[in-house]
Every structure is written in structure tokens, then in C-alpha cells.
Amino acid sequence: MDEHTLHQWFIDCFGPVQGEMAWKQVEALPEQIREQLMSQSPEDLPDPSQIRGMMQAFAGGGLNSFGEMQQTIEEGPINVKLAKSIALQQANDAESERSVTAEEGNAMRRAMSEVNLWLDTATDFNPVTEKAEALTRAAWVEGTIDQWAQFAAPVASSMNEALSAVISERLGDAFDGEITGMFAGPVPIPIPEGMKDPRQLMKLFANTSYAMQLGQAAGAMSKEVRGSYDQGIELLKNPAGGLIMQNVDEYAQSLEIDASEVTEFIALREQAYARLYVTVPWLMPRFTALIGKYARGITIDLDAMEEQLRGASSFDPESLSGAVNLSNVGLTTTDEQKETMHSIETILALVEGWVECVTWRAGMAHLPHLEQLREMMRRERAVGGPAELTFENLLGLQLRPKRTREAAQLWEHITAEQGIEARDAMWGHPDLLPALPDEHDDDAQAAKPQREHIDWDAELSKLLDDDADTGGETGADGTDGAQPDGGTAPDAKDTPDVPDVPDVPDTPDRPDDEQ
């Protein structure tokens, strides 16, 4: 790349005045760094419009003046304003709705009212008194970003210290102890006189880099999540939650299923989560405490972080994110870390499994495509959507969907054997929760009752292929067709047709007549 190309790129990005200032800063850099920059291909430079958008985000993120930068450093390990600004840019792009239409709002409220009636028959927990919200993508970002920042703060603190150490101690020799104007974030901008102390600048750089990672993750999630509880945790201040209606409609279109049924399915899950979190006051504080314990114990691999930084393209705003991505640089190998991760994974699996159990029983008589929708949800988790990737990249948590399937089976067995009231009473205290089977304990696997070894894929395929009139009186789990509350299951001929869904994994056992 020649100097003219790079010079023009600065002007296209920052305008004539700031572009010239940025170019003069490049000219003042040590020769070895200039050579590294000029060795890049012009195709590697990000689009100037992307840079301008990032600069706008910086303007909204408290990076306009030396005083704002100082305040940003003092406010904590994450520049939450910058994270929100970056996320909102994505959430408010040209494809995103800026408001919820009256039709969308009415559809959501109608669905919420309907599914709450269904849930009354499937759980002992009462409905939430507050009203759920119909959200835009931007409203979801506004309502959840502070909670994400709270979860990530302990990790960000450790990450910031490590990033500062790597840059100042391992990569700082070229600056001769003073920064003359290269970076105050991930793109070249003028450095205020008071920020030329490398230690101050590195704190700002670390604070900014992690905020970028969080903002990009939240912005991506805003286009994927359908309900506020999609991550399995309580994020909105409104305990009744809400639906991102644009995402719900687009999801229905992708599945080619009627939008009203998809809305009811997602509303059903949302309200099941809401009832659980409102009724079980210890649940969210316990989750938050476990996240904090896990995050404080993370060790950063400085060698891996240095490698990420050396391999980053100097002008690409996203290329530096690898250095604050825990899947690249986090070390969580201690026994305490593994134990804490297992606890977080288990409680999330039990929550999700309970929701699956309840929504199946509440919706099986009302949603013709319930099994297909559940299967799609499971496959999304297995592939790893924005929620799973956010937990992994920002918090270092690798959540395994297999545990959720096991938890759903477990709650189904408990419901069939002990009833709804006894099942829900187990949430009265953490010590009362059932234990998931230990996947590494071969003896425990061998000692399980035979009904837990059923091949659920084969059983479901057989049931779907059988003539509805040949249904037996005994369920797949060996129980009769009675419901936990003493009633009887609906006849197969009265149950809506379930679409043929191939390879449904680990479907919870339930009486044949409920298929």
C-alpha cells in the first residue's frame, strides 16, 4: 500500500481536518511501525463508513474530551456508554423498526393473555402482576446492556489489567515511554496532552476495547433474540419480560409457520420464565453470585493476548476484539473454576429444562407445531447463537445444550411421578433442586432405571408413524395416561397433528395419549 492510498483513506474516514491530523500522527510514528502499516494491502482497510460510524459511537461513549476520558476510566472497567452506543448503532440500522406498530402490540398482548391461561394448568406458580412489553431491538439494548455490563465487570477488570500490562510492558518499547498520538482506542485519533502518560492511555484503551466487544455482542443479539428471557436469565427490569416483535415475525417467516402460533410459543416460554424468576427470589442473585465468583478467578494468558495484538490489523475496529475474547486468552483450568462453571451450567440447565417441561404441558393442546418449534430452539442452542457466543466470549462460559435436554427429561419424570405441586416446590430452596445425572459417572449411568435409557429419537419416530387409533393405555415411560393433577390425557384424535420432525433429540417421556 502506498502513502497516497493511506493518506486518502484517513481523509475519507475523518474528514479533511482530522484526517490530516491522523496522517501526521502516522508520519511521526517510529519507522518500524510505519513499515508494518504500509505493508498491509489496501483491501484490509475497513470501509470508511464503518470508521465514521465507530467515531460517532465514540462521541456518544464519553470520548470527546480529556475530562470525559478521565471520567470514563474512573467509572469502572467497562465504558458502558460506549458499549450502548455501539450496540444501538446495530439495533437501529436501516433494517430495524424504530417503533412497535399497534398491530404488533395487540398481537403480543393477546398472546400473553392466552398463554397465561394455559400455564395455569401446567405450573403452581402464579402469573406476574406486571404487563409484558412489546419491544424494538433498540429498546431491548437499552433495557439489558447495564445487566450485561454488571455480569462482565469482574472479567473486564482482570482483562483490562492484563491488556495494559501486555501493551505497556511488552509492546511499549517503540513509544520511548510516551505516546505521541497513535491510539486512544481502536482507531487513530488525536491524543490530548494529559493522556500522553502510557499508563493512563492503556487504561483507556483496555476500557474501550472491552466495551467494543460488549457493544458488538449486544448489537448482534438484538437482531436474534425474540424474548427477554432467551438467555435463560432475567435481564429486563420489568419482571414480566417482553417480546422483540420484529424478530418474532421474521422468525415465523423463516419457519413458514403462522406468525400468531410462533408468537404464542415464544410468549409461552417468556411467561414461564417470568413466573419462575418472580416466584423464586433466590434464583437471580445466586446466578449473579456464581458469575462473579467465576469471573474473579479467571487468569489471562498474557502470551496469547500478545499474539492476538500482534496479529491485529492496526486500523480494523473489530480486529482487536480477539485480545479481549476469553475464548482466545482466558485460562479457567483450576478445580475451583471448573466447579463454579459446573454450578452455573447446572442451574441454567435446570431453569431451561423446567421451562421446556412446563411449556410442553401447557401448549401441547394448543400449538400444532409445538414439537417442531421446540426442536428448532434446541438446534439453535446446539449450534451456538449470539447468547451462547456472548457467554463464551465475554464471560468464558461454554454452556452445553446436552445438560438442558437432561434437565427437561428429569423434570418430566418428576412431574409424572410426583405431580406439579411437588415439582414446583423443589424451587423453594437451592438444596431442594434435583441433581442432574453425572455424565462422567459410568456407575451412575449403569444404575439408572431402565426408562432413562429409552432411545427417544426411535420412540418418537415410531409414535409419529403409528396410526393414531392404535395408541395404547401405557405411556412411553411406563406410566398410565393420567395427568399429574389426576385428570386424563386427551385422546390422540383430539390432539392437533404434529408435523414430522426428523431426529428430535431426547424428547421428554410423556404418556402416549399426549403425543
Looking at the fold, whether 26 and 121 belong to one and the same domain comes out as no
Q: Which helix (H) or strand (E) holds 17?
A: helix 3-27
Are residues 150 and 29 located together in one domain of the fold? no
Cβ neighbours of residue 486 under 8 Å, at least 6 residues apart? none
Whether residues 96 and 19 share a domain: the answer is no
**With contact defined as beta carbons under 8 Å apart, do 141 and 219 qualify?**
yes
Question: Are 34 and 71 in the same domain?
Answer: no
Number of Cα atoms under 13 Å in the Cβ half of residue 234: 22
For the chain, 515 residues long, give each residue's pLDDT as a single digit of tens: 777 888 788 788 777 877 788 778 777 777 776 777 777 777 777 677 666 666 666 665 555 555 666 666 667 788 888 889 889 988 998 899 999 999 999 999 999 999 999 999 999 999 999 999 999 999 999 999 998 888 888 877 877 777 767 766 655 544 444 444 334 333 444 455 555 555 566 667 777 777 888 888 889 889 999 999 998 889 999 999 999 999 999 999 999 999 999 999 999 999 999 999 999 999 999 988 888 888 777 777 777 777 776 665 544 445 555 656 666 666 666 788 888 888 888 898 999 999 999 999 999 999 999 999 998 888 887 776 666 666 676 666 666 667 888 899 999 999 999 999 999 999 999 999 999 887 554 343 433 443 344 444 454 454 455 544 444 444 334 344 344 344 444 443 344 444 444 444 444 444 444 43
Domain membership flag for residue 108: yes
The answer to whether residues 263 and 226 belong to one domain is: yes
- Same-domain check for residues 174 and 39: no
Alpha helix (H) residue ranges in 63-197: 66-75, 80-91, 102-119, 137-165
Contact predicate 151/291, CB 8 Å: yes
Handedness of CA 155, 156, 157, 158 (dihedral sign): positive
Query: pLDDT tens digits, residue range 214-249?
Result: 888 889 889 999 999 998 889 999 999 999 999 999
Among 439, 467, 499, give the residue marking a domain's end.
439
**Measured distance CA(196)–CA(178) in Å, rounded:** 6
- Residue ranges making up the domain that contains 21: 3-45
The rounded distance, in Å, linking the Cα atoms of 6 and 23 is 8
Pick the last residue of a domain from 397, 415, 439. 439
| Co-location of 16 and 150 in the same domain | no
Residue with cell 428448532: 376
Reported pTM? 0.70
Asked if the structure places residue 431 within a domain, the reply is yes
- The C-alpha cell at 56 is 460517532
**Domain-terminating residue out of 439, 459, 484:** 439
- Residues 276, 158 share a domain: yes
26 located within any domain: yes
Whether 503 is covered by a domain: the verdict is no
Q: Is residue 160 part of a domain?
A: yes
**Location of C-alpha cell 483450576:** 334
CA pair distance 269, 257, nearest whole angstrom:
17
Beta bridge partners of 227: 243
CA distance 340 to 289: 10
Q: Please tell me whether residues 39 and 160 are part of one structural domain.
A: no
What's the confidence (pLDDT) of residue 50? 62
Regarding whether 377 and 229 lie in a shared domain, the answer is yes
pLDDT digit string, tens, across residues 137-153: 999 999 999 988 888 88
Helix or strand run (H / E) with residue 300: strand 299-300
Q: Are residues 29 and 80 in the same domain?
A: no
Say if 505 falls within a structural domain.
no
Q: Which residues contact 171 (CB under 8 A, 6 or more apart)?
A: 306, 309, 310
**Average predicted confidence (pLDDT) for the chain:** 75
Structural domain includes residue 267: yes
Assess whether 39 and 179 both reside in one domain. no
Domain-embedded: residue 173: yes
User: How many structural domains comprise the chain?
Assistant: 2
User: What pLDDT score was predicted for residue 122?
Assistant: 97
